[in-house]
Amino acid sequence: MAPNSAVPEEQVVVGEEIEHVRVVTLNRPRQLNAISPELVSLLATYLEKWERDENAELVIIKGAGRAFCAGGDLRVFYDGRKTKDACLEVVYRFYWLCYHISTYKKTQVALVHGISMGGGAALMVPLKFSVVTEKTVFATPEASFGFHTDCGFSYYHSRLPGHLGEYLALTGGRLSGKEIVAAGLATHFVPSEKIGELEKRLISLNSGDENAIRSVIEEFSSEVNLDEESILNKQSTINDCFSKDSVEEIIKSLVREGRNETLAHCLKREFRLTINILRTTISEDMYEGIRALTVDKDNSPKWEPSSLDKVEDAKLDLIFQPFDKNLELHIPESEESRWDGKYENSAYAVPN
């Protein structure tokens, strides 16, 4: 199938095998390729299959329509709020998938043309090659609906220059394509009109050779020059504001500690937070945030507690507590043993 040919709309994820190249297209354009249980399952299946395939050398990941991946499908979580464990399998599998992608044994290229937010950006940031355009928009907007930066971003944000990570995590601030590259969250900037041709050239390489791939991408790339008003040109102000210890424990636990931890450790901690938030261990704020943002769309969430000064440290500690061993996120500490940690062995897997 040619790179720009149409794919059946009903297929949530489309996988193509072209000699030694594999192309996976996230294909829910009307939903901005938001992460759904079906998308996670199909994407994981393709990636696991191709990593074991001796003929597969290069994997290209892209999104159909005007988005790469807009993050989690919030309505899935909201609709499952009454049975709080309904979404746990997809959460577990996506966290495991985030680790899988970051330790993948084949060369990967993400062609990120459009929205790349939240968990969707975890399909872009860790790849060896991630290409963005002037139409790419990055953000981790979880704070806007009472959630936390997840899917490995306590690891990725903590490694950004200065306190840029705290800024992005706490404000949901957006970065443009050039800013994404300048911040180190993507590797190359390519004008949108060249993306189709770049994909064809990568496929024609028929190889996973990193030097050859880099050479082709650089041939299409443009130099990154930031606008004067770019937030990245205000690094000193960001550092001054976000180096303070306001929202003390949240900042310390979610971003700063991640600077000295492995991705696996960060994912395990984020998973505990996610599960406890879904289970409303201390608050129903996430569901209230989703209601205000995407259901009633009144943008007036009624937080509980209503202000930071009413937040109790003891309650915050509850959502960081480890689970029983069989309920933790089971990802291996090394690449060699990764297949032993498959999600099907977890307590969250739904029996066949």
**Token pair in block for residue 229:** 């008003």
Residue 79: its pLDDT value, please?
A: 87
What would the mean pLDDT of 293-305 be, rounded to a whole number? 93
- Say whether 280 sits in a helix, a strand or coil: coil
Residue 342: its pLDDT value, please?
A: 39
Instruction: Identify which has the larger pLDDT, 315 or 349.
Output: 315
Q: Domain residues of the chain, as ranges?
A: 13-342
What would the mean pLDDT of 182-197 be, rounded to a whole number? 97
What would the mean pLDDT of 18-27 be, rounded to a whole number? 98
Highest mean pLDDT: which range of 155-159, 160-164, 201-205: 201-205
Residues 6 or more apart in contact with residue 10 via CB below 8 angstroms = none
Computed over every residue of the chain, the mean pLDDT equals: 87
User: Where is average pLDDT lowest: 19-23, 58-62, 318-322?
Assistant: 318-322
Q: What is the CATH number of domain 13-342?
A: 3.90.226.10
The pLDDT confidence band at residue 341, using thresholds 50, 70 and 90, is very low
Residue 348 has pLDDT above 60, yes or no: no
Residue 9 has pLDDT above 70, yes or no: no
Q: What is the pLDDT of residues 258-272, one digit of tens each?
A: 788 899 999 999 999
Residue 5: its pLDDT value, please?
A: 45
Residue 187: its pLDDT value, please?
A: 97
Question: What amino acid positions are annotated as catalytic residues?
Answer: 72, 119, 142, 150
CA neighbours within 13 Å on the CB side: how many for 217?
21
How far apart CA 229 and CA 217 sit, in angstroms, is 28
Own/partner pairs, 13-19, CB within 8 angstroms, 24+ separation: 13/38, 13/39, 13/42, 13/43, 13/46, 15/42, 15/46, 17/56, 18/203, 18/206, 19/55, 19/206
Residue 248 has pLDDT above 80, yes or no: no
The pLDDT confidence band at residue 131, using thresholds 50, 70 and 90, is very high
Q: Could you tell me the pTM of the whole model?
A: 0.88
Residue 171 has pLDDT above 60, yes or no: yes
Residue 253 has pLDDT above 70, yes or no: no
How much of the chain exceeds pLDDT 70, in percent? 87
